A and B are shown apart, each in its own frame.
Chain A
Amino acid sequence: MSHSANTATASAAEATAPVQYLTVNLAHEEYGIDILAVREIRGWTPVTRIPQAPHYVLGVLNLRGAIVPVLDLRLRFGVVRKEYGATTVTVIVTVAGRHFGVVVDAVSDVLDVAAADVRPVPDMGTTVDTEYLKGLTSLAERMVLLLDVDRLLQPQDAQMLEAALPAAADVQAVA
């Protein structure tokens, strides 16, 4: 519901004004996150691991009293995990009233992207599954891939896991 609502407002906005994107670096590529979804940017701090989570969910952190899950964008896209360094940040995003953190190598810029400049993603050799991209845009010789934030921590995903988990947990406990 909210997903379609977001897309609807996005497409309405795209038709008129340029959309602002926060660009982040990840494995030598540049990605854009709709700035309206970004709540805050924090330096990387270790998180508390949670059991039975998908491998890309690193754990949960304390965001001023709220428990917020954090996922590693590299692991989400199947890229080898790099050491966390001084530039590693957690971008807290809000989708459909839920917060979650996305760990990226660094944040770099804020871009204005006009709707006309967004092109569809060709099936290409990027490391990223094109399913999570809304499109791409280019700026001088930089190419920015626009992330579909809504789909990173999909509810369908969570539901499927929910269904599969009791069995998995039992097997695990028996083993």
Chain B
Amino acid sequence: MVNAALAQFQQVFIEESLEGLDTMESSLLALDDGGDAELVHTIFRAAHSIKGGAATFGLPEMSSFTHEAESLLDEVRGGKRAIDGGIVELLLRTVDCLRGMFARARAGEPLNDATAEGLRGELAAMMGRGTAAGGLQARRPADQADAWTIRFRPHAGMLAGGNDPLRLIRELAGLGELAVTAELDRLPALDKLDPTECHLGWTIELAGPAKRADIAAVFDWVEGECELAIEPKHVVAATAPPAAAAPVADVAVARAQRETSAESGTVRVAIDKIDGLINLVGELVITQSMLDTFRDGVDASRLALLEQGLAQLARHTRELQESVMGIRMLPIASVFNRFPRMVRDIGQKLGKQVRLELVGEHTELDKTVLEKIGDPLVHLVRNAIDHGLELPAQRRAAGKGDIGTLRLEASHRGGNIVVEVSDDGAGLNREAIVAKAVQRGLIRSGESLGDEAVAELIFQPGFSTVAVTTDLSGRGVGMDVVRRNVADLGGSVTIRSTPGKGCVFTITLPLTLAIIDGLTAAVGGEHYIVPLVSIVESVQLKREAIKTVAGGGELFRFRGEYLPVIRLHELFGCPDAVRAIDEGLLIVVEGDGARVGLFVDGLIGQQQAVVKSLEANYRRVNGVSGATILADGSVALIVDVAGMVRMQSRRKVA
């Protein structure tokens, strides 16, 4: 039914509508916290655009569904109904349901499901109840009937608006069997007939169960341009199944769907960013033509000019690079925005009162990083509410206010993005963690550990101190996954805990994944790039400093701890490499929470590397995270430090 061109616009419509839904959701939450009337207008406008768009882009089910919500909102907007928790709750579920509908629309599946039907009933019931109690309106005519009589008389000028009565009637045919009678009484004599005007009217008998809203939705776009009467022939008892709402499951589904939508392959870019790019490219073209004048040769008199041109070229290239990277940069708000809802839901479930503070939502970071940071943050937030914040009674006992504070803060720090998740709860339970670690054999009992070492324990796979697993957290698949995900993005996670005062989780991330700073290391005539962020130090060791352990592993002492040596030439099979420890260099690197020493021939220098995928045309290679192109056009591989550390620890286990 939907042709290709329409389908293309439908995609755009869906993207826009999802944004509209986000607006609705955040406004609803603000409204719940006592927001002003302007919020109601914002919500209404969003709902109205979705309704109108859905009707245009061939999604009548969605249009009529949204119409119900819009009617409710209209009453609130008109002051006929006061907003309360029940309405907000219902509308939030409507938002979730619409997200589900959009996901299904995208997948080309039928839009309506049981949840939608249930919600529609609830919305209608909410309307009915309010009007009955308030007595502000006459009872609405029946909303559902087995057969309808529709009288449709377009005004003479309706066709000028591009509305085709035939299309409307065809659309009606989607609702049931039609019997259409044309009314010719207004048809003028042939010599007076203006062929651009509409002189016909229709009486349409629609057989088949349909809702008034569905029928009205068909005529949405000709409202005010026609006379329309919709009369039920047989009224059926209003059936509003009081849908046994299963909000928790729904929320989970909706969230999953939102996540997939967030990873769609388009980026919206501000016009000024694009204008900036065009300017830069213009500059670049000018510089190029200036340099082109040197094609015929350079004499000493023009040497200064050449130098100047090259300097300009360098500057413009760098600026262009930064601007292009900027296109991929999006504010972290799109990730933060999901938390108000989530915190509210979890808090209600656990009986905890939580105030959420979001700081630095405008901090921009790379789209790829943004898409992958969501899950670890969700995990940390859940943990903070479940384990960190106490119940109101406990908080009072500890001399704190009833309401716990959860703070999400994003900021730039150097070339990194720092995201902090902090709470003012109880902090880490040191005793419980130590006891659990002893029980699991991670440490010996009686071993004294610093606070940092204790905090480090919770990053162990499968580590959980919670006796009862809830459906929120406590299954022990948590912090290690968080750390792993963050490490995959080239970042790190640290904890700072103050008993009784709360806990701060700090995630440090690179600004972008596309360009890294690296040190070029030589191994047997080949060049490898080691990411600068993971390098701790480079050391040259004496032969005696290496301890060989049973099984062939080598260890060296570095600042009081023994670290394993990974010989790159062995791992990568490089011929003609330096083998004697005292002739080469050890680069101490940190990844995935552990340190190792990488043995190389020597260091060549520092450079920025544009990361290219090996997998695009080949496949993944162990110990290599990608490749880059050197100044001479040849390819150098980038060392995957976290992967190597993991490889090393796997060996240890085996």
Residues of A near any B CB (own CB < 8 A): 46-53, 59-62, 65-69, 98-100, 158, 161-162, 165-166, 169-170, 172-175
Contacts and interface: CB of A to CB of B under 8 A. Distances in A.
Nearest to A48: B635
Nearest to B613: A67
Interface string B331-374: 00000000000000000000000000000000000000000000
Contact of A170 (B567, B620, B650): B650
Contacts of A53: 621
B137 interface: no
Contact of B623 (A49, A51, A100): A51
B570 A175 contact: yes
A9 B648 CA distance: 47
Nearest to A69: B618
B570 A62 contact: no
Contacts of B650: 166, 170
Interface string B529-566: 00000000000000000000001110000000000001
Contact of A51 (B566, B572, B629, B633): B572
Given A51-B623, A62-B635, A68 B573 contact: no
Contacts of B629: 62, 65
A99 B617 contact: yes
A37 to B, nearest CB: 14
B551 to A, nearest CB: 7
Given A66-B612, A100-B617, A174 B551 contact: yes
A50 B617 contact: no
Interface string B615-654: 0111111111001010001111100000000011011001
B637 A173 contact: no
A66 B618 contact: no
Contact of B621 (A52, A170, A175): A52
Nearest to A100: B617
B526 interface: yes
16 contacts: A50-B614, A51-B571, A51-B622, A51-B624, A52-B622, A53-B621, A60-B635, A67-B635, A68-B617, A98-B616, A100-B617, A169-B623, A173-B570, A174-B553, A174-B651, A175-B570
A73 to B, nearest CB: 17
A174 B571 CA distance: 9
Contact of A169 (B613, B618, B647): B647
Interface of B: 526, 551-553, 566-567, 570-574, 612-614, 616-624, 627, 629, 633-637, 647-648, 650-651, 654
Contacts of B552: 174-175
A172 B570 contact: yes
Given A51-B623, A166-B650, 8 more contacts: A50-B621, A60-B627, A67-B612, A67-B627, A100-B618, A166-B647, A170-B654, A175-B570
A170 B651 contact: yes
Nearest to B619: A158
A11 B182 CA distance: 58
Contacts of A165: 622
Chain A CB within 10 Å — which of B551, B637, B647 has the most?
B637
B634 A48 contact: yes
B280 to A, nearest CB: 19
B635 to A, nearest CB: 4
A149 to B, nearest CB: 14
Contacts of B636: 48
Given A170-B651, A173-B651, A174-B553, A162 B619 contact: yes
B3 to A, nearest CB: 27
Kindly name the residue among B574, B613, B621 whose own CB sees the greatest number of chain A CB atoms within 10 A.
B621
A39 B434 CA distance: 62
A51 B568 CA distance: 10
Contact of A50 (B634, B637, B651, B654): B637
A47 B651 contact: no
Contact of B617 (A47, A67, A166, A169): A67
A50 B634 CA distance: 13
A48 B630 CA distance: 11
A123 to B, nearest CB: 32
Nearest to B622: A169
A166 B612 CA distance: 22
Nearest to B526: A49
Nearest to A153: B618
B647 A173 contact: yes
Contacts of A158: 619
Nearest to B525: A49
A159 to B, nearest CB: 8
A174 B572 CA distance: 13
A65 B612 contact: yes
Contacts of A61: 635
A17 B619 CA distance: 36
B617 A98 contact: yes
A48 B617 contact: no
A69 to B, nearest CB: 4
A48 B637 contact: yes
A122 to B, nearest CB: 34
A170 B616 CA distance: 25
A84 B622 CA distance: 29
A29 B571 CA distance: 37
A47 B627 CA distance: 13
